[in-house]
Structure 1
Amino acid sequence: MKLGVELAVGARIGERSADRGGHALRLADYEAVIIAGVPAVPQPDGSMTQYTACRFTSDPASLQEAAARGSLCAQVFLDARGTVR
């Protein structure tokens, strides 16, 4: 778990794919509600990439930079909201 919380998964937001050189990446975003725990990063699990920081915002523009750098999850979210990247 990258955030250390338990989620209730909701509706699918969208999906994107990207060529990452030697492999293809396919990512789907879903709405979710935290049902247990408090988000904390990084988690003590070395088996996956880890977040170094997290924050909550109601401003989708805060994802613009990440989307421009290639973050598929940010791109999916902004596309679903009709937000220009």
Structure 2
Amino acid sequence: MPHRQKRARTIAQRGDLIAEVDPRRPSGRLLRQAGMDVSYVDLADVTHLEFDYMRWLRIVLHGAGARRVLHIGGGACAL
């Protein structure tokens, strides 16, 4: 999400973790840690993948014929 134009609205903060509303997608939520974008989810469209690595993973999984995937991860990253 490197080309954000508008200022995001902070909805929660704890330490250096900040949750923001994406000004380009009102249902989008961005998690930032130490000034870096680390996780993103669009509450209205969970198929929207904001980060490149997530789109690449979708291509790989789709090519492998995966129909459903559940990832429970850590490190404040979303898949």
Q: TM-score, normalised by structure 2?
A: 0.29
Q: TM-score, normalised by structure 1?
A: 0.28
